[in-house]
Structure 1
Amino acid sequence: MSTCGPIRAPRTRDRAGGEMMKRRMMLGLALTAALPSAALASRVRPAPLEVLDTYLANPVPDSRAQVAGQPLLLRRVHDWNFDPAAVAVETEEGQRLGYLPPRQAEVLSRLLDHGARTSARVTGPGRIQVLLHL
């Protein structure tokens, strides 16, 4: 019975295996380096999309005193009998300025009912711009 040392794979396989390990390590490093940039890219949001430039329907008397560029909120109003698809326009403090015109509010109210994020801003006396955030 002969005593043999440990069985070893031929040298070429060791070298190939070593090369394979180096490739795996390089790939791992490359992927790890790409993760922070992918995370940053997912945080970048597209600019809001202008979907409407309109007037205020049923404005309250003080609504025309708003400053151009002032941010506004759009709130869905379900209990207004005149317009079942009503969308109220309010200041950030919650002061109601008026409503979107019924014909234009019809589509926007459906988007709001399904959770769409919107905003608006004053563009002139009694006029607003409605933005959709994607």
Structure 2
Amino acid sequence: MIGRRQVLGTLALAGVPAAAVLPSAALARGRAEPVEVLTTHLANPDRSFRPTPGQRLVLRRDPSRAFDPAAIAVETEAGQRVGVVPPARAAVLSRLMDQGAPAHAEAAPGGRLRVFLTLG
């Protein structure tokens, strides 16, 4: 599992101040707990997908997309692909996931996604 220092280092390399994305309470806790790091829209959505707010969604790296090597697919827990994290938002998140940071998303009202990382 990726440690807090690795997450903070990756964020710093990307020019993202950790204080901007990680609540101070999350930095102070010693136990691994999901932390919301991003709220965004679902890119290339499956128009038939009607999520329930709060529905847990799986984030899976999809580097096979030649035009977007940082691609992150969004799927239901049953494995149905429903879209991707927008490329502009996936760059840092994909690097954290590649380093072993567990990530998932939850559906939010208005077709939005809430993305969570678990920091250990």
Runs of 4+ in 1 over 2 A off after TM superposition: 44-47
C-alpha displacement of 1:125? 3.2
Query: Residue 10 of structure 1 aligns with which residue?
Result: none
Q: TM-score, normalised by structure 1?
A: 0.63
CA distance in 2, matches of 1:111, 1:46: 15
Fraction of identical pairs, as percent: 52
2:48 to 62, 69, 73: 62
1:45 to 31, 47, 60: 31
Larger relative contact order (Cα-Cα within 8 Å, sequence gap ≥ 6)? 2
Alignment pair present for 1:105 and 2:82: no
Are the equivalent residues in 2 in contact too, given 1:66–1:125 (CA < 8 A)? no
Q: Which has the higher helix share?
A: 1
C-alpha displacement of 1:58? 0.6
CA distance in 2, matches of 1:112, 1:47: 16
CA distance in 2, matches of 1:47, 1:107: 20
CA distance in 1, matches of 2:71, 2:62: 5
Runs of at least 5 residues in structure 1 that lack an aligned partner in the other structure: 1-43
RMSD: 1.3
Are the equivalent residues in 2 in contact too, given 1:69–1:121 (CA < 8 A)? yes
Runs of at least 5 residues in structure 2 that lack an aligned partner in the other structure: 1-29
What amino acid is aligned across from residue 60 of structure 1 in structure 2?
D
> Over alpha carbons, which structure has the higher Rg?
1
1:89 to 74, 91, 96: 74
What amino acid is aligned across from residue 79 of structure 2 in structure 1?
G
